[in-house]
Amino acid sequence: MAAKNRTDANMDLAKRIEAIIAPSVEELGFEIVRVQVSGAQHPRLQIMAERMDGTGIDVEDCATISRTISATLDVEDPFKGEFTLEVSSPGIDRPLTRLKDFQTWAGFDAKIEMQVGVEGRKRYTGRLLGLDENEMIQIESEEGEQFSLPFDDVQRAKLLLTDELLAAATTEQTK
C-alpha cells in the first residue's frame, strides 16, 4: 500500500508543479505535455514539452525550458532537498495526456489503459477516431469494434510506433 500512496503523492506533486511552471513555459512559446515525478529518496522530475506552433523542439529548446523551470522551482521549492530535472520532447510514440491529443492524433494507432474497465476491458489498442460530441475518446480495434472511453478514466495512453506515424513525423520535420 505504501507504493500506491507514494504514487498518488507523486501524481499530486506533479499536478502542483505543472501549475507552478506552466505560465513560464507558455511564455517561452511551449506547452507542457506531461509532468511526471518518480523516486522517493532521489526525486526525478520529467517534463515533456512541445512548441505551441507545432514545429519541432530541439536540444537548445529543452535547455531553455530547463533553465526557466529551474529558476521557477528554486523560488517555489516543491521538493525537500535535491532533485533531478529532465526536459524532453514527447517523441514520435508520444504519450496522449490531454483531451486535445486524442483529436489531434486521430487516424493513428494508440494503446489506452483505463483506470476503470469499460465494457469489461481496461486495455484498448487500435485506431484513434478522435472525440465524439460528449468528448468521449473514440477508438476502433483491429477487429472493427468501436469503443467510447471517458477521458477522466484514462490511466495511460500513447501512440504506437507504426510506419504511418514515422512517415507523418518525417513529413512534419521536412516542413
Q: 26, 52 in Cβ contact below 8 A?
A: yes
d(CA 98, CA 104): 10
Scanning the structure block, which residue is given the C-alpha cell 505543472? 18
Domains along the chain with CATH numbers: 2-88 (3.30.300.70), 99-173 (2.30.30.100)
54-74 residue pLDDT tens: 888 999 999 999 999 999 998
163 within 8 A of 109, measured Cβ to Cβ: no
Helix (H) or strand (E) holding 159: strand 154-159
Cα gap 29→53, rounded to integer Å: 8
Each residue's pLDDT tens digit, 76-93: 888 878 899 999 999 998
β-bridge mates for residue 88, sequence order: 48
* Rounded Cα distance, 52 and 130, in Å: 20
pLDDT over 50 at 153, yes or no: yes
pLDDT band at 2 (very low <50, low <70, confident <90, very high): very low
pLDDT range class, residue 3, cuts 50, 70, 90: very low
The mean pLDDT of the chain is: 90
Bridge partners, 45 (sequence order)? 37, 85
Beta pairing partners, 37: 45
More reliable by pLDDT, 61 or 3? 61
Q: Which residues contact 146 (CB under 8 A, 6 or more apart)?
A: 129, 138, 139, 140
Helix axes 2-27 and 59-76, enclosed angle (nearest 10):
110
